[in-house]
Amino acid sequence: MHTSTPAELEIWFDFASNYSYLSVMRIEDLARRAGARVLWRPFLLGPVFQSFGWTNSPFVLQKAKGEYMWRDIVRECDKYALPWRRPAEFSRRSLLPVRVALYGEQEPWIAEFCRRVMLRNFSADLDIDAEASVAAVLAEMGLDAAAIIASAQADENKRKLRARGEQAIALGIFGAPTFFVAGEMFWGNDRLDDAIARAASPVPD
């Protein structure tokens, strides 16, 4: 007898990405309602951009695109009732929180950690990369910040992050957020609903 189960939904994101903010804040609730499982895939956008010969985010390199984005983000945050404060620094360095998220991507605290870091960047306009900043987020969650950061900074996890970046490029990822459902790629916050719908479709076991 065959049963049907919803597919898993991968979210590839970087804490420096403003459109990732919109998706990270919403994806767990949307996936839960659809009966889908979220798989967190933190990565760094920098190496991906470098593979295209870019030295920064296209929102920085292309003035018109950047000006549009800042207005668009305000509209989107209003639509989703998400807090927003334009970061004084864009895009912010996100290496340490990405390493922590990578280390903890299978842990039960991963979703809350990601939301808290995103709020720190795009609502509170605070640094997210300093060890004290990341430790504060973990401590607020009742976690052993020192132990988690030490593990995230270990050579094994650093190698894992480099491999994650290579995987992103091999998969054809060119921005964030990017979603995968059963090998199908969906790019951008405006495709999250499509990815959720695909994940909710029955997949034969």
- pLDDT tens digit string along 126-154? 999 999 999 999 999 999 999 999 999 99
Residue 205 has pLDDT above 60, yes or no: no
d(CA 68, CA 35): 35
Residues in the chain: 205
> How does pLDDT run across 45-85, given as a tens digit for each residue?
999 988 888 777 878 778 899 899 999 999 999 999 999 99
Domains in the chain, please, with CATH?
Answer: 4-204 (3.40.30.10)
Q: Residue 2: what pLDDT?
A: 46
Angle, alpha carbons 98-113-145 (nearest 5°): 80
pLDDT category at 202 given cuts 50, 70, 90 is low
Write the CA distances from 17 to 37, 101, 129, 189, 204, integer angstroms.
22, 15, 14, 11, 34
Instruction: Read off the DSSP letter of residue 40.
Output: E
Q: Mean per-residue pLDDT for 8-21?
A: 97
Residues 6+ apart with CB under 8 A from 181: 7, 8, 9, 10, 195, 198, 199
Check if the beta carbon of residue 118 is closer than 8 Å to that of residue 133: no
